Structure 1
Amino acid sequence: MTDCPLMVTKADNSSEVFDRTKLMHGLIIACAKRHIAPSQLEQIADEIENSARNNTKNEISSREIGSLVMQHLAKIDVVAYIRFASVYKKFDSIQEFSDIVKGLSS
C-alpha cells in the first residue's frame, strides 16, 4: 500500500502536493543574515511536515503552514518572524505591521 501524498490547499482553494523545498525556501528567506543554523531550519521544516502528516486528512491549508512557521520563528528570532509575517500576512497598512510588532513585546 502506498502512502497518500500530503496535499496543501492554497488560498484560491486549489490544491498541490506538499513541497518541502518551498517551505525551506520561505524559512531561508525569512532567516537571511540572521544567526540561525541551517539545522534549526531543517528541524522547523521537519516539525511542520510531521505535524501536517500526522493529520488524518493528509491535507493542510497553506494558511495553517504559515501559522506554524510563524509560531516556530517567533520562538527563535523576532526579526525572522517579522520578515515572514510581512509576506504571509500581506499587511495593508503600517498599523497592521505595528500591531504585530506590539504583540511580540507583550
Structure 2
Amino acid sequence: MKCPFCGSLDTQVIDSRANEAGDAIRRRRRCAACDKRFTTWETAELRPPQIVKTNGTREDFSETKLREGFRRALHKRPVSTELVDAAVDRIRQRLLTLGEREVPAREVGELVMTELKKLDKIAYIRFASVYKSFKDPDDFRDVLEDLAQGPQAGDDPA
C-alpha cells in the first residue's frame, strides 16, 4: 500500500481487526520510509446489477427510483419512512446477494410487490394495478382474492 504522506510503497501492517459487524477490516499501517502511521479499511465491493427493462434497454440500479416507486404506491398511507427504508434495503441486499450482473425489471417489480404486500395492502393494490397493467375490474378482483387468501407458499414471512 502506498504511503499517503511520502508515496513510498514500503509499508507494513502493524495491527488488523474486523469491525463489530464483521463486514470490514481496519488495518493500522506504518511507512518504513517516513515512519508515519495511517489507517486503511478493507471491505468487499458488491455492485448492484444492471436492470434489464422490458424493452431490452439496460440501466443502473437506482435506489432513488426504487424509493420513489414505494413513495407513489404509499402516497397518503400510514407507513413510516423507517419501514420503507427497511424494505428498500432488503430489496437492495437481495439484488446484491444474487451475484448476477443483470436482473430483469420484472424481478425487481416482484420484489417490490412482496414488500408492499407486507407493508400495506392498499399500496400493494395500487402498485399491482400499474405494474401489471390492469385493464378491467376483474384484474382488481383477482388481486383482492389473492390478498384474502393470506400468505402463500413461497411468500416471504419476514
- TM-score with structure 2 setting the length: 0.63
Work out the CA distance in 1 between the residues paired with 2:69 and 2:119.
Answer: 15
| Identity across the alignment (%) | 35
Secondary structure, aligned partner of 2:94 = helix
Q: Which residue of 2 aligns with 1:39?
A: 82
Deviation at 1:2, TM superposition (A): 6.5
Q: Which has the higher helix share?
A: 1
Deviation at 1:81, TM superposition (A): 0.4
**Alignment match of 1:103 (pick from 112, 122, 146):** 146
Q: 2:68 is aligned with what amino acid?
A: H
Compare relative contact order (CA 8 Å, sep 6+) and give the higher one, 1 or 2.
1
Q: Which has the higher strand share?
A: 2
1:71 to 1:95, Cα distance in 2 relative to 1, 3 A: same
**Alignment match of 2:122 (pick from 64, 79, 88):** 79
Superposed CA deviations along residues 50-80 of structure 1, whole A, max 9, x for unmatched, are 1001112132111111111111111121001
Secondary structure, aligned partner of 1:32 = coil
Greater C-alpha Rg: 2
Count how many residue pairs are aligned between Structure 1 and Structure 2.
106
User: Aligned pair 1:15/2:58, yes or no?
Assistant: yes
Q: Which residue of 1 aligns with 2:7?
A: none
Is 1:52–1:59's contact at 8 Å kept on the other side of the alignment? Answer: no
Is 1:11–1:62's contact at 8 Å kept on the other side of the alignment? Answer: yes
RMSD: 1.6
- TM-score with structure 1 setting the length: 0.92
Work out the CA distance in 1 between the residues paired with 2:142 and 2:115.
Answer: 19
Unaligned runs of 5+ in 2: 1-43, 150-158
Deviation at 1:105, TM superposition (A): 0.6
